[in-house]
Amino acid sequence: MEEEDVHPYALLPEDPTTEAIISWIDQRSDDDRHDEQTLEYGTGPDNLEHTAESDGEEFAENSDILRFEVSLDDLESDTEYHAQIVCDSGETVDGISFRTLPDDLSDADDGLNIIVTSDIHIDKEMEDDEAMQDLADQDPDMLLIAGDVVSNGYEESDEIEDYWLDFWDNYMEHINEDFLVPMMMVPGNHEVGNGSGWDGSGSVEPDAGYFQFFFTNTVDLDPTGENYAEVTISDYLQVIGLDTHSAEIDDTAAWLEDNINTDVDMVLPFHHCPILAGGSRSSSDDDLEENLREAWAPIYADAGNVYASFSGHIHVRKRTKRWTVVDEEPDDGDYTELDDGYIVEDENGIVEFGDGMRSNRSVNDDWYLETSDDDEEQFYSLTIEQDLDVVELEVDEHYAYDGDTYNSEIFRTDDDMVDMEDEYSNYGFVRTGRLEVS
């Protein structure tokens, strides 16, 4: 097999410390490929002692895409594995590696590194796949995508299929160059077709287009068949991917309230549409944001371990002030009213980052915005580390086309916090965060 015709990738499993989901796309002609293929894997390139078989699945009749997938369990935590794909004919694609995540965060010397991005739209402004190299340079352990990889990605056509293949062949090639980075994605409006006029209720089509074909982990995890899910990593992190465009908001809110894990150190939600937008698109988007805000903001605030959330959709570079939800109307200061409470600024509150890797729309000047710009694309790299009993999350905001860091926020699980600011003149950005009071 020619490596350029077969594209392996990893999906985030239910327990990333002992499990892995390895998928691959074979786009060779029917005469050259085989419907049954095998993944051989082990802890060294010369020690591929385990095997897992997969039957290929076609997206549609006459499609050029044949996708394979194997789920691996009983793996060792914080361990690198090597693998190769083998056809019935004996042809192989070798040189594949993947890693499990640490069960004990304090054992990870460099912490856990996560990249969050959205609104790549590879068929639009981001036509240069080299921009993904900046993301890969952060050496991520996990990749989270908050929707809109391909414009009109729900359409079943040769053109759209070619764009999806381009995503795996060229864009993800940078991310997966050294090892397969486990990823989780939630759909945007361009994955499921719910755009203008969608306010979070009405007709939903979670199985529209290519999304569920490629990102089976989001669909297979509880609740099965939906485009939202959670993954809990030991006792230190819960990743929650929420669906803003093909699920009823009331359903996701009920599920979120039941499944948000208040026992882990940190909960990390990401979703396509923001709850506190940095710009405006349309009145229907404003309605959707308001409905999401009403349903999800109180749950985030009540959990007590949500420090940062991530969104896309609007196409601006946004960071909110730290906020929370209170029951009583404030006597002074700015706030946003909810049906059952008020969003107010709070020095120990939550920051929503976003809104999308592209930045090309008008910005708002709402009170809750720390910054909102329309002239720079961005992505986010997160580092989660543990020092004794304190877990720290650092969120670095990067310009998308040179990788430079322009801001960094630090969140810690200490009970007693104060604000701090340190000027890092050699990097040209301000680092803000909260430190323990001694």
What per-residue confidence (pLDDT) applies to 323?
Answer: 98
Q: How would DSSP label each residue in 20-82?
A: EEEEEEE-S-TTT--SEEEEEEESSTT---EEEEEE-EESSTT-S-EEEEEEE-SPPTT-EEE
List the domain range (segments joined by +) for residue 368: 106-436
120 and 38 in a common domain: no
pLDDT at 437 over 70: no
Total count of domains within the chain: 2
pTM of the entire predicted model: 0.92
CB 252 within 8 A of CB 300: no
432 and 326 in a common domain: yes
Q: How would DSSP label each residue in 163-210?
A: HHHHIIIIIHHHHTSSSBPEEEE---HHHH---TT--S-S---TT-TT
Looking at the DSSP bridge assignments, the partners of residue 6 are 26
Q: How far apart are CA 96 and CA 84, in angstroms?
A: 6
What per-residue confidence (pLDDT) applies to 254?
Answer: 97
253-266 burial: b if 16+ Cβ within 10 Å, else e: bebbeeebbeebbb
Q: How far apart are CA 213 and CA 211, in angstroms?
A: 5
211-239 burial: b if 16+ Cβ within 10 Å, else e: bbbbbbbbbbbeeeebbbbbbbbbebbbb
pLDDT greater at residue 431 or residue 399 = 399
pLDDT at 241 over 90: yes
Report the pLDDT averaged over residues 70-90: 93
CB 52 within 8 A of CB 70: yes
352 and 304 in a common domain: yes
Instruction: For the chain, give percent helix, strand, coil, nearest 5.
Output: 15, 35, 45
CB 259 within 8 A of CB 232: no
176 and 50 in a common domain: no
Report the pLDDT averaged over residues 65-73: 94
pLDDT at 123 over 50: yes
Domain CATH for 85: 2.60.40.10
293 and 417 in a common domain: yes
Picking from 73, 99, 125, the residue at the C-terminal end of a domain is: 99
303 and 227 in a common domain: yes
pLDDT greater at residue 426 or residue 291 = 291
Tokens of 109: 């010397």
For the segment 403-413, what is each residue's pLDDT rounded down to a tens digit?
788 899 999 99
For the segment 356-388, what is each residue's pLDDT rounded down to a tens digit?
777 667 788 899 999 888 777 789 999 999 988
Q: How would DSSP label each residue in 61-75?
A: TT-S-EEEEEEE-SP
Domain CATH for 118: 3.60.21.10
134 and 33 in a common domain: no
For the segment 206-221, what is each residue's pLDDT rounded down to a tens digit?
887 899 999 999 999 9
What per-residue confidence (pLDDT) applies to 260?
Answer: 98
What per-residue confidence (pLDDT) applies to 31?
Answer: 64
91 and 150 in a common domain: no
354 and 410 in a common domain: yes
Residue-averaged pLDDT of the chain = 87
Per the listing, tokens 């039941």 go with 258
88 and 45 in a common domain: yes
pLDDT at 184 over 50: yes
The listed range with the strongest mean pLDDT (111-125, 172-186, 349-363) is: 172-186
116 and 80 in a common domain: no
What per-residue confidence (pLDDT) applies to 228?
Answer: 96
What per-residue confidence (pLDDT) applies to 195?
Answer: 65
Tokens of 350: 């939550």
Q: How far apart are CA 335 and CA 366, in angstroms?
A: 10
**Residue among 394, 357, 361, 359 at smallest CA distance from 379:** 357
CA 119, 121, 125 angle in degrees (round to 5)?
110
Report the pLDDT averaged over residues 247-266: 96
pLDDT at 182 over 90: yes
141 and 42 in a common domain: no
Picking from 40, 68, 99, the residue at the C-terminal end of a domain is: 99
Picking from 99, 118, 146, the residue at the C-terminal end of a domain is: 99
